[in-house]
Amino acid sequence: MAAELFEIVDRTDTGLVRQANEDAVAIHIPLGLVLLADGMGGAAAGEVASQLAVEGAFHHLAARAADAEPSAESDEALLRDAVRAANRSIRNAAREVRDFRGMGTTIVIGLLRPRHLSFAHVGDSRLYRLRHGRLERLTRDHSLIQEVLDEGVFDTLEDARQAGVSENVLTRALGTDAQVEVDVASTPILQGDVYLFCSDGLYNMLDERLLQVEMEKGRDDLERLADRLLEMACYRGGNDNVTLVLARRLHWDGTRH
């Protein structure tokens, strides 16, 4: 069971500027599930969208993940279907309630298996992996600034920023279209890996070099590391909601590695 193989901890906080928390997060350790969403929209719509996304995808996965064939290919298909189900939930709610029209959310989901991690994402919530002291981003943002970098319009992120390209414009999100394109992938899991799922409220406050340093220092105590990352994000401004999940492979006997 995933409960014997993984330690998973989560944190979410409103931050120091926002009045409400529009992020949503859920974990299910026995199934190895991680879900995180960052909502957007007027009034309470962002909060509603992120919660619907997490709940919709969670219920879809919880009903199927335990019985699914644990292969990367089947898990990727399962995650893609779960995200599409979440998209339908958001759009149905927006049709029924006028105040919810135009709401949307990012989402990133992980399904931890004994030998692999399958993941899906839409938007700019991220998944990182720390392996052998090196932090690597496993997701690629669906954002305007990432798109212009991919197209070679600018050489660096800083060049794009200086030219006035907004970092907050998403090119893909749940709730905006009837059909959503979902990026899915899988990666082998090695003992010692530490995975970080997070909203932009964390990584906009802590750059990847600092994240790598802090995660390497704190990798043996995920509870303390989660508190540390949240505290640092708030100390450095906390200008958005901050949500993160840390996951790590354990020894087969359940001890930490």
Three-state SS sequence of 202-227: HHCCCCHHHHHHHHHHHCCCHHHHHH
3-state secondary structure of 5: helix
pLDDT tier for residue 143 given thresholds of 50, 70 and 90:
confident
Give 187-220 pLDDT, tens digit per residue. 999 988 999 999 999 999 999 999 999 999 999 9
- Provide the CA 90 distance to its chain's centre, in angstroms: 18
Give 173-186 pLDDT, tens digit per residue. 999 999 999 999 99
Paired tokens of 142: 């669906």
Return the half-sphere exposure (C-beta side, CA atoms, 13 A cut-off) of residue 239. Answer: 6
- Rounded to an integer, what distance in angstroms lies between the CA atom of residue 254 and that of residue 16? 37
Give the pTM: 0.92
- Provide the CA 155 distance to its chain's centre, in angstroms: 26
For the chain, what are the domain ranges?
2-135+173-249
Mean pLDDT of 114-129: 96
Q: Is it true that domain 2-135+173-249 has CATH number 3.40.50.2300?
A: no
Mean pLDDT of 100-117: 94
pLDDT score of 168: 75
- Rounded to an integer, what distance in angstroms lies between the CA atom of residue 175 and that of residue 88? 7
Paired tokens of 159: 């060049």
